[in-house]
Structure 1
């Protein structure tokens, strides 16, 4: 994983200038480095390329409209924007729940080396977790966000994010090795 430190802390003068001017180039300079992480988050939550692109586009439009009301607190601009993306994904998930017919996925038979965990197994197991657990795991491990920003995007305290992340990882470990008891 590559640590994404772009736009974690935006200098006050750049943010102030962009907000005061509310011009396209100011907003573009802030949002451009965040589009890829936003798309990765949306794809992780929605699991569909087109839906993820739509969510990022709609979230960016909402961020543009609400840019003047942005207050630089609790995680900064990146956390604020990714929160909008996550909320847009949740809205899309709520709106389409009735139209999606889900079947339990059948795991392929294991080869001779049953102890090997493949990326496919991990993706499938993560997909079986709750939406909130998946969100925390993707933000922390896939987007490599600091715990404070994970908490800000999820809308919970840092302590709650740490505890939920610990429990989610414990559930994953238990899935791959049922002989180990989860200490939580």
Structure 2
């Protein structure tokens, strides 16, 4: 088989292999990007750019520390961080003003939870989202966040504590 035909066959096989690996990860990647960027269009752009970068670097992928999913979602997270750094000038929006609730003990709604999580730092949101929403094992959370497993566990624990404190400051505990 001539060299150019072999090269084309290898590219076709790699493309099929890449498609098989990337297809189930597009939805979690979008959800991660949306959680980090909080806007639909930039999240879609981040996933598209991350997919292109993953395709370009697919030949250099080494199956280590969390596998392909962790590697790809790390690229997505880094792309989101790049987009956030690039849009420092964007307009800030204030939370809408809500009237006080009638009942003394109000139940937490999904909207309240999203708003509370949005007030946390980017790193806290990333850890909480990967672990609780995407159900990643702690090892993959650590790989995506660029941390050791022990550090990811500790930061996740502290992020949950900050989330509780943000939602209800009266429940501050002394630890």
Give 1:103 deviation, angstroms.
3.4
* CA deviation after TM superposition for structure 1 residue 87, in Å: 0.3
Q: What CA distance in whole angstroms lies between the structure 2 residues aligned with 1:71 and 1:183?
A: 44
Gaps of 5+ in 2: 1-8
Alignment of 1:33-112 (within 5 A): 33-98=24-89, 100-112=90-102
Is the 1:45–1:134 Cα contact (8 Å) retained in structure 2?
Answer: yes
Residue of structure 2 in register with 1:134 after alignment: 125
Report what 1:3 is aligned to.
Answer: none
Q: Is the 8 A contact 1:83 1:153 kept in 2?
A: yes
CA change 1:21–1:103 in 2 (3 A) is: same
After TM superposition, where is structure 1 displaced by more than 3 Å over at least 4 residues in a row? Answer: none
- What is the TM-score when the length of structure 2 is the normalising length? 0.88
* Per-residue deviation, 1:115: 2.7
Structure 1 residue 75, shift from structure 2 partner: 0.4
- The root-mean-square deviation of aligned C-alpha atoms, in Å, is 1.6
How far did 1:135 drift? 0.6
Q: How many pairs does the alignment contain?
A: 164
Aligned position for 1:21? 10
Q: Which residue of 2 aligns with 1:163?
A: 154
Question: 1:153 — aligned with what?
Answer: 144
Q: Which residue of 1 aligns with 2:4?
A: none
Are 2:1 and 1:32 aligned?
A: no
* TM-score (ref. length: structure 1): 0.84
Larger Rg: 2
Give SS of 2:88's match: helix
Task: Confirm or deny: 8 A CA contact 1:39 1:56 kept in the other structure.
Answer: yes
For structure 1, which runs of at least 5 residues remain unmatched after alignment? Answer: 1-19
**Distance of 1:183 and 1:36 partners within structure 2:** 39
Of residues 116, 124, 148, the one that matches 2:115 is 124
2:106 match: 115
Give the Å deviation of 1:173.
Answer: 1.1
